[in-house]
Amino acid sequence: MLLLGDSLSWTTFGIAVGGAGFAALLLLVLVLVLLRRRSTHELEGMLRESTTRVEAMLSDLSGALDHAREETARSAQLGEIGSTIDLDEVLARTLEAAGGLVGVDGAMVVLDRADRSGSPLVATVGLSAEEADRARVEAQASGQLVANGDRLFAASAIDGLRRLVADTLEAYQRRMPWRRGMPREQLKGRVASGTDNRLFDGILADLSASSRVAEHRGLVSLAGFEPVLSDGDRRVREALLRTLEQAGMSPPSEQNLHQVATPRDDPEVVDRMLQTLIDDGLVIQTGPDLRFATSVLEHVRQRIVGMIQAGQEVTVATLRDGLQTSRRYALAVLEYLDATRITRRVGDRRVLGPNAGESLPPRR
């Protein structure tokens, strides 16, 4: 909690302490009134309990006071730091330090603007504008600088990021050998969090072009990697897919799907195999506890597109009746088709969306 002002904070705390003291006094008076009605043993117990409660109350208030002081001091320090940072001074000191290194005759710092607008901020020491531009061209020609879009990066930094991507994927595949790959966004968060998307995308595109990594439906893996499934995993996976296909538009809950596994199976095998089916596009999850076989939803997609093209009205009610299913499932399917832009909602009915002609599962 940040305090707005010392005087107000300490006044408020004083009121709290006063209130605590008054509460303690009332508690003591109550104990004294009961002195005439209780035995000595009972009264001693009550006094001990009341004392403990008062001490705990005062301890809590003391802790709150210490916390308030720390927050006030921290707020003041951050405000002071924020008001004294001078970007020009930071750049100057950085360049001064770089220029002081042995064998360095000049240095250049290039900073992107926070809003990515306009030219980057450029500062140099020991270099004219022409020399800085020539140094950049020479560094690119020698491979010391690597272009990524309209930005330049040190080749060593790019190589380090490539190695980090490969190491991260290798560790993920050792930990989760049953999965086809690591989700792309999870990989980015692990190796390039806070960086421009263009840098990560460029690195991944380069690794894909050089056949070092492979991408499949939003999952990234080292080239040549294949999921490792035990015989029990395959049996459960096949049973899950068969169950969902047979269920049609009335899929079982996750709890019921867990009954596919036998007591000798790993308790988590159903969750893992459901994820592999989703990764491979054989199952589509439309909600936290709602999964359909992709073949079932593709049949429904074709039927809905055909109905709209024929001029028939498609609503939750008409789809529910036409598929002989519940409103919950009909609504879930239509919302999924809206989200994938196969359909578009207009009032209570659906019209065709820009992806109406694309079969399921959708491309990632």
Can you give the pLDDT at residue 59? Answer: 62
- What number of other Cβ atoms are within 10 A of residue 205's Cβ? 13
Can you give the pLDDT at residue 71? Answer: 64
Ordered by start, the domain boundaries in the chain are 6-84, 88-142, 157-222, 231-352
Q: Tell the CATH topology of 231-352.
A: Arc Repressor Mutant, subunit A (1.10.10)
297 closest CA partner among 260, 325, 263, 262: 325
- What number of other Cβ atoms are within 10 A of residue 188's Cβ? 20
Looking at the predicted structure, is the pLDDT value of residue 283 above 90? yes
Which of helix, strand or coil describes residue 97? helix
**Residue located via tokens 């009134």:** 33
**Torsional class of 359: left (φ above 0), alpha (ψ -120 to 50), beta (otherwise):** beta
Looking at the predicted structure, is the pLDDT value of residue 15 above 50? no
**Taking a C-beta distance cutoff of 8 angstroms, is the pair 282, 292 a contact?**
no
**Residue located via tokens 């028939």:** 312
Tell me, yes or no, if the two domains 157-222 and 231-352 fold the same way.
yes
Q: Which amino acid is at 45?
A: G
Please give the helix or strand (H or E) that residue 283 lies within, else none: strand 283-287
Looking at the predicted structure, is the pLDDT value of residue 172 above 60? yes
β-partners of residue 151 are 148
Can you give the pLDDT at residue 76? Answer: 63
For 27, residues 6+ apart whose C-beta sits below 8 A from its C-beta are: 50, 53, 54
- Determine the average pLDDT of the residues in 243-252: 95
Domain 157-222 coded CATH 1.10.10.10: yes
Per-residue confidence band for 329, with pLDDT thresholds at 50, 70 and 90: very high
Please give the helix or strand (H or E) that residue 216 lies within, else none: strand 213-216
Q: Which of 136-145, 195-204, 228-237, 310-319 has the lowest mean pLDDT?
A: 136-145
CA gyration radius, the chain:
33
176 closest CA partner among 141, 138, 210, 225: 225
Q: Which amino acid is at 133?
A: D
- pTM, 2 dp: 0.64
294 closest CA partner among 311, 281, 309: 281
Per-residue confidence band for 97, with pLDDT thresholds at 50, 70 and 90: confident
Per-residue confidence band for 242, with pLDDT thresholds at 50, 70 and 90: very high
Distance CA 251, CA 301 (A): 17
**Taking a C-beta distance cutoff of 8 angstroms, is the pair 250, 325 a contact?**
yes
Q: Calculate the average pLDDT of the chain.
A: 79
